[in-house]
Amino acid sequence: MLPFRAMTQGTPDFIIIGAMKSGTTSLFRHLGRHPGVFMSSLKEPCFFIKKRNWSKGHDWYRSLFDGAPEGALLGEGSTSYSKSAAFPGVPELLRSEVPDVKLIYLLRDPLQRMRSHHAHAVFKGREKRPIERAITARSGYLRTSLYGAELQRYRSYFPADQIHVILTEDLAQAPAEVLSGVVEFLGLPDYEFPGVERRYHVSSNRKVNTRLGEAVQRHRPLDTWSRRYVPEQVRDRLLTRGADTEPAPLPENVVDRVRKPLLADRALLQSQVDLDLSSWADLRTTSR
C-alpha cells in the first residue's frame, strides 16, 4: 500500500486525536465552519487504527474528503487515536504515513470525563456494570484519562510544535479565544466563528429538550426504531447528548481508586505543557 506521504491529495493536514467525551464534536464542527478548512464527512474514521478501518485502504479514507475546495486544510476527529491502551501503534502509524500532520488534543477534567464516558457506554448498551465496578485502575475509563502518558507517546514521534493541547473547560468558557489559538496553530487566517456559544457533548448538566431525544434515552426499544427511521447523524447526536445528561457523580471509593494514577499522570502532563488546571477537581481533596 502506497504511503500517504507519497501522495498529494486527500491526506489530513490536522487531526483531533481526543480525548473522548471532551467536546471534540464541538471543536470538529466549529473548525468545519472556517472557510479554509474541510472536515471529513465521517467525524471519526479511525483509519489509522489497524484493528478498525486501516484495511479499507487509502482510497476509502481519501473519499471522506471528496468535495474539499482546492487549498483547504483537511481535518478529521478520531478520538480513538488517543486510546493507546486499546489501540496501540497509532502514533507510529501516523508518523509513518502523515509525518507533517498537526495534532490537536482536547482534555477534560479526568473525573468528569470518566463519569461521562461510563454514562455514554451504559446508554449505548456497551456497559452493564455500575460505575463502582466499571472504573478500576486497569479500565479503559481510567487509561483514556491518562493524558500525560498519551501525550508523552505522541511526543516521542512528533515534535512539540505539531501538537496543540487545549482544555475542554476553556473551550466552553472562552470559545472565541480557544478557537483563535487553534486557527493560529493551523496557520490559518483569523476568523470570527458564528455561534461559538453552542456546545456539543460537553455539559454534564444539560437537559435534552426534544421529545425524540427523551424517548430514545428512556426506552431502549425505541433505539431500534430510531436506527431504521432516524438519520445516523441525528440519531448519534441525540444518543450522545442523552449519555451526557446528568451522569451520576463518581463515588468516593472510585475516586480513591484512581487518585494515585491520576495525580502521577497530572504531574507528567504538566511537565510537558504549561496548562492552568485550576478548573479541574483537586484530586488531593476533592471527589467530583
Q: Read off the pLDDT of residues 197-243 as tens digits, 9 standing for 90 and up.
A: 655 554 433 333 334 443 443 343 444 444 455 554 554 454 444 44
For residue 248, what pLDDT is reported?
59
Note the CATH number of domain 9-206+244-270: 3.40.50.300
Residue 258 burial class via C-beta count within 10 angstroms: exposed 0-12, middle 13-18, buried 19 and up: buried
Q: Is pLDDT at 8 greater than 70 in this prediction? A: no
What's the whole-model pTM score? 0.82
Question: For residues 231 and 180, which has the higher predicted lDDT (pLDDT)?
Answer: 180
Average pLDDT for residues 133-157, to the nearest whole number? 96
Average pLDDT for residues 63-70, to the nearest whole number? 96
For residue 211, what pLDDT is reported?
41
For residue 118, what pLDDT is reported?
95
Q: How far apart are CA 195 and CA 63, in angstroms?
A: 29
Q: Give start and end residues of each alpha helix (H) in the chain.
A: 24-32, 57-63, 90-97, 110-123, 131-134, 140-143, 147-155, 168-173, 175-186, 211-218, 220-229, 232-243, 252-270
Q: Is pLDDT at 170 greater than 70 in this prediction? A: yes
- Residue ranges of the domains in the chain? 9-206+244-270
